[in-house]
């Protein structure tokens, strides 16, 4: 399907440029003065983040929105995880973006180097007092390598995250992005609105006009509603069958209801033409639910609650429409 490949290529180029700008160098050290020093010395050259423990690092990495260069020592104070175990965990936590892991250690023993490299580290460097300029050059080179790798593999990554029919996010990718945005909303203390939508009488449309027409309905509806997810943090996906799901971080209840009104009106303006030239109207039942993300709940619990409540509101809308109480 040439259209899909064209869209994937375009999205890949846009995504690559955006993700490259979000490359972060993460310094991991259990000594706060050293972390502050790293942030000061290298923050002039790179986007820098720091972590003081393996737990803090593994909490940080899934929230990054692009490639990462992770700098760490194999010996991080008292912790339950060994350095080589941490390297292996980092590889998993940085998916799906490429990452470079650089061990920066005072231990020059061959045993330490071998364990780090076997665990998946890309480089093993010995700490030195005069190594700042050298380290900047090495980090720069690693970032360039990550960017090249990103451009090479991004079309596959984009394709793996899209629904091939509607070119919206697939459910797996939506869930991943939603968990990240909900966590951010919890930290920032802002509301999140979830909207569920289901095409009305879709089975009847399929049976009357055929499955190719049903596919065209899904494509056109997707294009229509995608125009309302305009911020980088807004998410829209084909949730399954003829169902769609949206997440709008920072949108309160009033904004959420306003979005439902505009989405409903936009879909009603669609007139999808059959092979015989008949223009068929389409409607969608929408349901919205808004909450202020609770820090005591996990992002997974919050997402499940949002979708469940938005789905309930969508069901009530669909029942009201069947009873003729809604246009």
The pLDDT of residue 184? 86
- Per the CB < 8 A criterion, the answer to whether 24 and 68 are in contact is yes
Site of tokens 């879709």: 202
Cβ neighbours of residue 244 closer than 8 Å, sequence gap 6 or more: 168, 196, 197, 198, 221, 222, 225, 236, 237, 238, 284
pLDDT of residue 157: 66
Confidence (pLDDT) at 94: 65
User: Look-up: residue for tokens 């990495």?
Assistant: 61
Domains 2-159 and 171-322 belong to one CATH topology: no
Q: What class, spelled out in words, does domain 171-322 have in CATH? A: alpha beta
pLDDT tens profile 153-185: 666 666 677 888 888 888 988 998 898 889 888
Distance of CA 108 to the CA centre of its chain: 39
Domain residue ranges in the chain: 2-159, 171-322
User: What local confidence, expressed as pLDDT, does residue 80 receive?
Assistant: 67
Residues of the chain with pLDDT under 70: 1-22, 65, 76-80, 92-97, 129-130, 150, 153-159, 230, 293, 327
pLDDT digits (tens, 9 = 90+) for 271-327: 888 888 898 999 999 999 999 867 778 889 999 999 999 999 999 998 988 887 776
Q: For the domain 2-159, what is the CATH code? A: 3.40.50.2300
The pair of structure tokens assigned to 296 is 């005591």
Cis omega before residue 96 (within 30°)?
Answer: yes
Residue from 101, 104, 102 nearest 127 by CA: 104
State the pLDDT at residue 67: 79
Residue 288 has a pLDDT of 95
């Amino acid at each position: 399907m040439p259209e899909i490949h064209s869209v994937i290529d375009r999205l890949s180029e846009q995504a690559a440029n955006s993700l490259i700008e979000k490359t972060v160098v993460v310094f991991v050290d259990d000594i706060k003065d050293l972390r502050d020093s790293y942030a000061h010395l290298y923050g002039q050259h790179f986007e820098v983040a720091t972590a003081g423990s393996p737990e803090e690092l593994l909490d940080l990495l899934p929230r990054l929105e692009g490639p990462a260069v992770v700098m760490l020592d194999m010996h991080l104070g008292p912790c339950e995880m060994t350095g080589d175990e941490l390297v292996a965990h980092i590889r998993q936590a940085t998916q799906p973006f490429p990452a470079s892991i650089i061990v920066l250690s005072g231990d020059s023993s061959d045993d330490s180097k071998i364990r780090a490299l076997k665990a998946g580290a890309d480089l093993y460097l010995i700490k030195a007092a005069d190594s700042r300029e050298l380290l900047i050059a090495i980090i720069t080179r690693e970032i360039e390598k990550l960017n090249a790798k990103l451009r090479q593999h991004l079309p596959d990554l984009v394709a793996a995250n899209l629904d091939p029919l509607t070119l919206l996010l697939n459910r797996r990718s939506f869930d991943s992005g939603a968990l990240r945005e909900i966590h951010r909303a919890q930290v920032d203390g802002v509301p999140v609105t979830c909207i569920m939508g289901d095409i009305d009488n879709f089975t009847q449309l399929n049976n009357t006009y055929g499955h190719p027409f049903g596919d065209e309905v899904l494509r056109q509806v997707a294009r229509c509603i995608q125009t309302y997810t305009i911020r980088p943090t807004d998410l829209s996906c084909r949730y399954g069958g003829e169902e769609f799901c949206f997440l709008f971080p920072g949108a309160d209840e009033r904004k959420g209801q306003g979005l439902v009104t505009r989405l409903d009106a936009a879909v009603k303006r669609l007139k999808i033409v059959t092979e015989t030239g008949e223009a068929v109207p389409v409607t969608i039942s929408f349901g919205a639910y808004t909450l202020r993300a609770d820090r005591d709940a996990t992002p997974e619990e919050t997402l499940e609650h949002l979708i469940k409540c938005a789905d309930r509101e969508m069901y009530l809308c669909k029942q009201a429409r069947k009873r003729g109480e809604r246009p």
